[in-house]
Amino acid sequence: MATGHSPDRGSGKGADRGGERVTLKQVAAALDLSPTTVSLVLNRSPAAASIPPETHRRVFAVAEELGYRPDFLARSLRSRRSRSIGVLVPEIGDVYASDVLSGVEKRLLEEGYFYLIASHRSRRELLKEHMQLLRDRLVEGFILVASPLEEPPGVPSVAIAGHDSLDQVTNVVIDHDRAAALALSHLAGLGHERIAFFKGPAQSADTESRWKAIVAAAADIGLDIRPELVLQLGGSSIDARFNAKEVYQEGHALGNRLLRTGSPFSALFAFNDASAIGAMRAFLDAGLQVPRQVSVIGFDDIHAAAFQNPSLTTVRQPLNQMGEMAARILLERLSGSAAGAEDFVTIEPELVVRDSTGPGPNERTPRQAAS
């Protein structure tokens, strides 16, 4: 379990100094100010706006000089507020989660909230255990990233890529119908008729919703989905399915499997960018030119997508924005604002066309196109 940085300062007891803890009253006495004034400044309270900037500077300087630190637990028990949030992710090193966490962190730090991060590696029992541990540490709410919930979490929560309507939970979701239509219309418009697909892993909260959207979008534009061209992530021996390195590797392995089927296809729509990049590497290693002989489109728009060779066409989820929005919604819930009370908040995707998609060949297998 990892902890986030917190700029929060508050009333309470401070750090050990010569065997004794420096108190807020001692800081106030050194400044010849009231403890209330010092507490308002150190807590960055809105009420401190009327206190002169020079006083703010002096308070922080003397608090640092004396080694003052707030007694977090005592303050939480007195106020019944910990100003801390639990953040749960499948895997901390996942490129999807890291982009989301950047937005979560930005908003929480701006609002003076502390956060604790735990990864559950898609194990439901570990997710429940971590949630209980975080509740024991007095977190006021949860932000869950691609972490399916089976029951209400017991505190206000926001689930990114959540799909279940539960008490006290707001789900931040991408519009999968729109995303599927954007990707398949793009490929169909380029003349691709035989499209291969990487479905998401069974553990992913988005897999079922996205696949249903793809099936519906394909039917709308008259594309046939051929079972032999549908492969699913998570079908290998890889355990940490959300580890970026291993998703790249699995995409590479599935790309090679597609080539070995011998079934004609001219384009691949992958569940995420990491698997798309891995498959693209497999195609290039096999001597195929992307996109002249096979087009590839991903999903998410991770940072690496724009810097591949060729750069990856993808359906963009504004991951950083989704993280920042999740944090904002949760803080609104904690403040009692009606604005944070929706069950679902839908984010619009965007098609980002780069160099990995191009005109489709006429009913040739990739290997035939290479010959």
**Mean of pLDDT values over 11-23:** 57
Tokens representing 298 are: 């991903």
User: In the prediction, which pLDDT does 10 show?
Assistant: 42
User: In the prediction, which pLDDT does 239 show?
Assistant: 36
Distance in Å from the first CA to the final CA of the chain: 52
Round to whole Å and give the CA distance between 335 and 333: 5
User: In the prediction, which pLDDT does 68 show?
Assistant: 83
Percentage of the chain lying above the pLDDT 90 cut? 61
Confidence grade of residue 300 (pLDDT, cut at 50, 70, 90):
very high
Pair 331, 113: CB distance under 8 Å: yes
**Mean of pLDDT values over 117-122:** 89
Q: Do domains 80-174+320-348 and 176-316+351-370 have the same CATH topology?
A: yes
Pair 34, 86: CB distance under 8 Å: no
Q: How many CB atoms lie within 10 A of CB 341?
A: 13
Pair 73, 137: CB distance under 8 Å: no
As a CATH number, domain 176-316+351-370 is: 3.40.50.2300
Round to whole Å and give the CA distance between 251 and 257: 10
How do the domains of the chain map onto residue ranges? 2-78, 80-174+320-348, 176-316+351-370
Please, what sign has the CA dihedral across residues 163, 168, 172, 177?
positive
Instruction: Measure CA 147 to chain center.
Output: 10
pTM of the model: 0.74
- Neighbouring C-alpha atoms within 13 Å toward the C-beta of 101: 24
Per-residue model confidence as pLDDT tens digits over 18-64: 557 788 889 999 999 998 898 888 877 767 888 999 999 999 999 88
User: In the prediction, which pLDDT does 275 show?
Assistant: 95
CATH fold of 2-78, please? 434 Repressor (Amino-terminal Domain) (1.10.260)
CATH fold of 80-174+320-348, please? Rossmann fold (3.40.50)
Q: Does residue 67 register a pLDDT over 60?
A: yes
Cis amide bond preceding 310, omega within 30 = yes
Higher pLDDT, 368 or 315: 315
**Mean of pLDDT values over 258-282:** 96
